[in-house]
A and B are shown apart, each in its own frame.
Chain A
């Protein structure tokens, strides 16, 4: 069992004296009006925030629609042209190799 030191019990006394030294605070007349003023102030701040957030969301949606419309009305030239050209080249190259292979194969067969 832990023995309480002298200081331990003195500390308990200090805490007890502290409790007595904390005055009972009576709510002032302005307590309820002050509380409601704070509630209303927060309500107003929230309302302003939601209004701002709603208008921001609306504006963002309008910008997105506008951009979409602009892109739709001005079709860009196909950016894949280079790719298509390259693909055509590769196909013709494959075709050439295939033809060369077939020619070599038929000559080997002839021998």
Chain B
């Protein structure tokens, strides 16, 4: 999504109406990304507000209005990262129990059979977050951006400002850890 650089420039100059317009144009997208990154619908709006709060106070640091999109993505990633860190502190390793993951997967399957879409989706989200719990928050977000958001390595390079090979190594390691957890849960379930 490319926003009008003039609108961004006006918001940078302190025009609150322009800032409101920027939020209006990009909030749906931010909400969607946050929803997929944190997987907790009840907290999505709060994290998205945090993204725009950060935007309001950091907009003057943006050197080029054309980089707004990337800037907003970075702020979204940072806000999701902070949320995950706080959430981990709140329920340290609640998800570390494999039997709980089995239950989630079983719930997801049962929900699918019985057509209970909401339950199934909620269990699936919990299951994926359990799979990702063995990976640190930074790599978890990186993996979600690649596997769920479908961002290319080039796009990730732009957001993270890191080089391709470093990102590939991190992604490979993170995926291997998730894969191991997935295999374990499958073995127990079979």
Contact = CB atoms under 8 A, between A and B. Distances in A.
A6 to B, nearest CB: 9
Contact of B121 (A7, A8, A21, A24): A21
B41 A25 contact: yes
Contact of A32 (B20, B32, B178): B20
A38 B124 contact: no
A65 interface: no
Contact of B148 (A5, A7, A19): A19
A42 interface: yes
Interface in B103-140: 120-122, 124-125, 127-128, 131
Interface string B34-46: 1110010100110
Given A19-B148, A22-B125, A31 B49 contact: yes
B83 interface: no
A27 interface: yes
Interface stretch (A9-17, A56-64, A75-83, A85-93): A9-17
A12 B32 CA distance: 20
Chain A contact residues (Cβ within 8 angstroms of B): what range? Answer: 20 to 34
Contacts of A14: 124, 127-128, 131, 182
Nearest to B42: A25
A71 interface: no
Contacts of A102: none
B27 interface: yes
A14 B44 CA distance: 21
A11 B179 contact: yes
Contacts of B147: 12, 15
Given A25-B41, A42-B57, A35 B23 contact: yes
A15 B49 CA distance: 26
B131 to A, nearest CB: 8
Given A26-B28, A27-B28, A34-B49, 10 more contacts: A15-B147, A17-B124, A22-B36, A23-B35, A24-B32, A28-B45, A31-B45, A32-B20, A32-B23, A38-B49
The 9 closest A-B pairs by CB, nearest first: A21-B121, A15-B147, A18-B128, A25-B44, A22-B36, A21-B124, A25-B31, A22-B35, A35-B49
Interface of B: 20, 23, 27-28, 31-32, 34-36, 39, 41, 44-45, 48-49, 52-53, 56-57, 120-122, 124-125, 127-128, 131, 147-148, 175, 178-179, 182-183, 186
